[in-house]
């Protein structure tokens, strides 16, 4: 089975072709970074127009790279939400048009399920597993019991972790997008232990997260230093922020691992997913934790952590294998939590 995947929920326009033998035949991503950088963040209207302009060409490129034609495709999967609604509509309408014209099954994929199942595209990861989902709009600990079967241990009570990286980058004068710039600045820190930041929620019961206090602490340090910050100040503060986030996430994961083991004594892996999962300090910290707890640790390759369409095609394949498809009157969902019992989400989407 060969599936065309389409991703348009935020500021990456992406198309990919993936087989059920876990081969990524093509995976093209067009970042709209240059369109949004002047505004310091993603502008939904600009994003929707850019998706519309580029998606057709990207699908053609994916087909060319795979050496396949539309006639070789067995199904079309597109992100159906959550995300910026204008962009999601562009992807869903395009997918439906191809599905209708070629009489192919259509799957509307939950973007978060795309992140959640990526590890199964690249590694042998059986259900159940414990998932730390860390992205631009989310920060959650979930048990992935199966396709479409999620139970949530914890979520952020304020900012998503990617959002915290982006806001911190702005405070430090590093620009946008924050995550990769904070990681780069931290790597050149000459005195990484110079700043000590608070560790919100660490040691508290439960598996929830909080990042707004950390961001405020960074702001206070910035206000005390002379602005614009020197490159050394930027680097040392970025290192402190990154290290603290990794510590907070590891503390919450340690609690979740204990709970997971009680529920699933037969075991399972710790999996990390979402854009922030491409952070190398975080990956190393989680590997250390998993080694200590005796749990396997799986982190997808860096380029499959940030938004891409291979993960959408793969989630489509997982659903198609279970006989699940969506009707062509599927309505895009700007909010779409993974866990049905989830409280209304805080943050931009989901």
Residues that bind Fe ion (CB under 5 A): 135, 307
Among 3, 6, 11, 143, binds Mg ion (CB under 5 A): 11
Which one of 87, 162, 300, 332 is in contact with ligand ATP (CB under 6 A)? 162
Q: How far is CA 85 from CA 98, 109, 118, in A?
A: 20, 14, 23
> With 0-12 CB in 10 A as exposed, 13-18 as middle and 19+ as buried, what is 165?
buried
Token pair belonging to 15: 């198309």
In DSSP terms, 79 is beta-bridged to: 109
Of the candidates 138, 89, 96, the residue with the CA atom closest to the CA atom of residue 116: 138
3-state secondary structure of 231: helix
Contact letters for Mg ion, residues 259-298 (x by CB under 5 A): ----------------------------------------
Alpha helix positions (H), the chain = 33-36, 44-66, 85-102, 111-122, 161-171, 178-187, 212-224, 231-263, 280-293, 310-321
Per CB under 6 A, does 269 bind ligand ATP? Answer: no
List binding-site positions for substrate. Answer: 133-137, 166, 179, 183, 279
Q: Could you say whether residue 51 binds ligand ATP (CB under 6 A)?
A: no
The only residue of 137, 200, 316, 332 in contact with ligand ATP, by rule CB under 6 A: 137
Q: Does 25 participate in binding ligand ATP (rule CB under 6 A)?
A: no
* Known binding-site positions: 111, 115, 133-137, 166, 179, 183, 279, 307
Q: Is 134 helix (H, G, I), strand (E, B) or coil?
A: strand
The pair of structure tokens assigned to 232 is: 């050394």
Q: Of the listed pieces 46-54, 134-142, 224-232, 262-270, which binds ligand ATP according to CB under 6 A?
A: 134-142
334 binds ligand ATP (CB under 6 A): no
- In the complex, what is the shortest distance from the CB of residue 313 to Mg ion, in angstroms, rounded to a whole number? 18
Residue 63 dihedral angles phi and psi, to the nearest 5°: -65, -45
Of 163 and 318, the one with the shorter C-beta distance to Mg ion is 163
Decide: is 307 part of the binding site for ligand ATP (CB under 6 A). Answer: yes
Contact between 345 and ligand ATP by CB under 6 A: the answer reads: no
Q: Is 233 helix (H, G, I), strand (E, B) or coil?
A: helix
CB of 50 to ligand ATP, least distance (A): 15
Determine the Cα–Cα distance for residues 39 and 170; give it in Å rounded to an integer: 12
Stretch that binds ligand ATP, among 57-65, 143-151, 276-284, 322-330 (CB under 6 A): 276-284
- Report angle CA 236, 241, 244 to the nearest 5 degrees: 125
Which of 201, 306, 316, 317: binder of ligand ATP (CB under 6 A)? 306
Q: In what order do the strands lie in the sheet with 129-134?
A: 149-155, 139-146, 129-134, 270-273, 297-298
Binding site for Mg ion (CB under 5 A): 10-12, 307
Which residues contribute to the site for ligand ATP (CB under 6 A)? 10, 83, 111, 115, 135-138, 162, 165-166, 177-180, 183, 274-276, 278-279, 306-307, 349
């Amino acid at each position: 089975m060969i599936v065309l995947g389409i991703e348009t929920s935020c500021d990456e326009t992406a198309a990919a072709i993936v087989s059920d033998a876990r081969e990524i035949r093509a995976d093209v991503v067009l970042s709209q970074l240059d369109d949004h950088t002047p505004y310091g963040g993603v502008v939904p209207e600009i994003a929707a127009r850019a998706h519309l302009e580029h998606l057709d060409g990207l699908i053609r490129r994916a087909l060319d790279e795979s050496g396949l034609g539309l006639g070789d495709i067995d199904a079309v999967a597109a992100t159906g939400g959550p995300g910026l609604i204008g962009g999601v509509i562009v992807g869903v309408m395009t997918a439906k048009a191809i599905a209708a014209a070629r009489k192919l099954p259509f799957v509307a994929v939950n973007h978060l399920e795309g992140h959640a199942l990526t590890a199964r595209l690249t590694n042998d990861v059986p259900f159940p597993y414990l998932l730390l989902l860390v992205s631009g709009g989310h920060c959650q600990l979930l048990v992935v019991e199966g396709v479409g079967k999620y139970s949530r241990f914890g979520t952020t009570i304020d900012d998503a972790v990617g959002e915290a990286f982006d806001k911190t980058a702005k405070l430090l004068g590093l620009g946008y997008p924050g995550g990769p710039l904070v990681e780069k600045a931290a790597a050149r820190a000459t005195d990484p232990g110079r700043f000590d930041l608070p560790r919100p929620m660490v040691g508290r019961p439960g598996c929830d997260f909080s990042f707004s206090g950390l961001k405020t602490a960074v702001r206070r340090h910035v206000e005390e230093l002379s602005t614009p910050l020197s490159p050394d100040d930027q680097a040392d503060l970025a290192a402190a922020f990154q290290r603290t986030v990794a510590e907070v996430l590891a503390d919450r994961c340690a609690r979740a691992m204990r709970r997971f083991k009680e529920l699933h004594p037969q075991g399972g892996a710790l999996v990390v997913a979402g854009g922030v999962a491409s952070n190398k300090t975080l990956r190393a910290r989680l590997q250390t934790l998993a080694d200590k707890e005796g749990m396997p640790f799986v982190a997808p390759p860096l380029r499959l952590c940030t938004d891409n369409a291979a993960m959408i095609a793969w989630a489509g394949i997982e659903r198609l294998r279970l006989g699940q498809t969506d009707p062509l009157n599927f309505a895009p969902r700007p909010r779409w939590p993974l866990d049905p019992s989830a409280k209304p989400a805080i943050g931009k989407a989901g």
